[in-house]
Amino acid sequence: MSEPMAPAPDRRPGGRTARIRAQVLDAVRAELAEGGHESLTIEGVATRAGVHRATVYRRWRDVGGLLVDVIDAAGETDWRPPDTGSLLGDLTALNREIQESLAVRPSLAVALMSASFHSEQAAQAQTRLWADRYAQCAVLVERAVERGELPSPHTDARALLIAATAPLYHRLLLLRAEPDPDQPERDARAAVLAAEAGAFTVL
Amino acid sequence: MSEPMAPAPDRRPGGRTARIRAQVLDAVRAELAEGGHESLTIEGVATRAGVHRATVYRRWRDVGGLLVDVIDAAGETDWRPPDTGSLLGDLTALNREIQESLAVRPSLAVALMSASFHSEQAAQAQTRLWADRYAQCAVLVERAVERGELPSPHTDARALLIAATAPLYHRLLLLRAEPDPDQPERDARAAVLAAEAGAFTVL
């Protein structure tokens, strides 16, 4: 007698469904990094993944569906915010990760942001991912409050995180500046100084 | 006898050439705002502008040429940085302008940034425009130094301006947050507090 609560064989984690998803999403990432979202097609992804086109159409429907799933998959990884022992150290480490993801060529992060300007579905998935990441990083600010590094326990974590990270996105994505190895720490330091002066304190 | 140094009649400012350029660029802005750069075509622009297609092809060659010229034209307007009497006031006014340009629907600014992810020519024009704007705004920091508002005359004006303005772009473009009327001043204040604490002092 089969176990009624057992998942269907091809649905269990690591099973055929998961394997096909991994192959397809790897192919999407590779196609995006090489040619951006404009050259992304179901056919190209299926060929690269070695999966039947019909399978891709059935499960992801269209290019928007593929973009959403690759962004959702980024949110499923067990990424953890840095924990270096100080707010400045944590924000610097976070900024280094961001700079690396934006400066690598080709950059999947840049391709996904670019895609989100053109696909409403991708934009919504990207917005959900950002919200998750900011929520995860709130712990950086909580730990800084516990260590007495901030003037008030009522510090707006999201505002502080945006102040620390936004200048890097601005420089690398919009101003298209060359990455500067010292910039992650400089931007982190400016945000910490503002926070120490009460810029993100909420009453 | 004709004057040898006089410009050709249809090249003088306000002449036929200038008038056609104004009509064509108005049409580009309207098309961009309505449908984004993806739906921009020479034909659509010529029709909307009431200008022969051949004229548009001859002068701007392709959609990239139209994008570059519309961005260049933005740099030719006699925009002046705010002058309110304080650094906080100036940065707040600047941020309010930015928020307005990004939050208006449809937004030409957003359409141009989106286009610059897809056209190398447009990206270079956009980068030149940013560089001009930052250079123009350096006077905000110079005036703050003269008024004794900053701890050191050696303040990196560009870094301060990026710290003040980047969070707004981040919230509105990447996080797709709703515009908050208090945010321009909050972001300006955080940058001023960081500047007062020496975050942008260069040795």
| Higher pLDDT pick, B6 / B130 | B130
What domains appear along chain B, each with residue ranges and CATH number? 9-75 (1.10.357.10), 79-196 (1.10.357.10)
Flag whether residue A194 sits within 8 Å of chain B, measured between CB atoms.
yes
DSSP state of B178: P
Flag whether residue A41 sits within 8 Å of chain B, measured between CB atoms.
no
Residue B60 carries which side chain, given as an amino acid letter?
Answer: W
Share of chain A above pLDDT 90, in %: 66
Query: Which residues of B fall within a CB distance of 8 Å from A198?
Result: 193
pLDDT at A112: 84
| Higher pLDDT pick, B117 / A20 | A20
pLDDT at B2: 39
Residue A183 in this model has a pLDDT that exceeds 60: yes
| Higher pLDDT pick, B3 / B94 | B94
Who's near B6: CB < 8 A, 6+ residues apart? none
Give the confidence band of A6 by pLDDT, cuts at 50, 70, 90.
Answer: very low
Share of chain A above pLDDT 70, in %: 93
Considering only the C-alpha atoms of chain B, give the largest distance between any 2 of them, rounded to a whole number of Å: 68
Instruction: Name residues 135-164 of chain A within 8 A of B (Cβ).
Output: 159, 162-163
A16-20, A42-46, B5-9: least confident range: B5-9
Flag whether residue B166 sits within 8 Å of chain A, measured between CB atoms.
yes
Flag whether residue B57 sits within 8 Å of chain A, measured between CB atoms.
no
Whether A162 sits inside 8 A of B171 (CB atoms) is yes
* Conformation bin of residue A176: beta by default, left when phi > 0, alpha when psi is -120 to 50: left
Q: Collapse the DSSP code of A201 into the 3-class scheme (helix H, G, I; strand E, B; otherwise coil) and give the result.
A: strand
Whether B194 sits inside 8 A of A194 (CB atoms) is yes
Q: How many CB pairs lie under 8 A apart between chains A and B?
A: 95
Flag whether residue B60 sits within 8 Å of chain A, measured between CB atoms.
no
Give the confidence band of B182 by pLDDT, cuts at 50, 70, 90.
Answer: very high
Flag whether residue B174 sits within 8 Å of chain A, measured between CB atoms.
yes
The answer to whether the CB of B42 falls within 8 A of the CB of B53 is yes
Whether B189 sits inside 8 A of A199 (CB atoms) is yes
Assign 3-class secondary structure to B94-129. HHHHHHHHHHCCCCHHHHHHHHHCCCHHHHHHHHHH
Nearest to B170 among A38, A162, A190 (CB): A162
Whether A113 sits inside 8 A of B174 (CB atoms) is yes
Flag whether residue B80 sits within 8 Å of chain A, measured between CB atoms.
no
For range B33-56, the mean pLDDT: 91
Whether A200 sits inside 8 A of B190 (CB atoms) is yes
For range A167-176, the mean pLDDT: 93
ipTM for the predicted complex: 0.86
The string of pLDDT tens digits covering residues A80-109 is 999 999 999 999 999 999 999 999 888 888
Tokens 């003037």 appear where?
Answer: A151
Who's near A64: CB < 8 A, 6+ residues apart? A119, A120, A121, A122
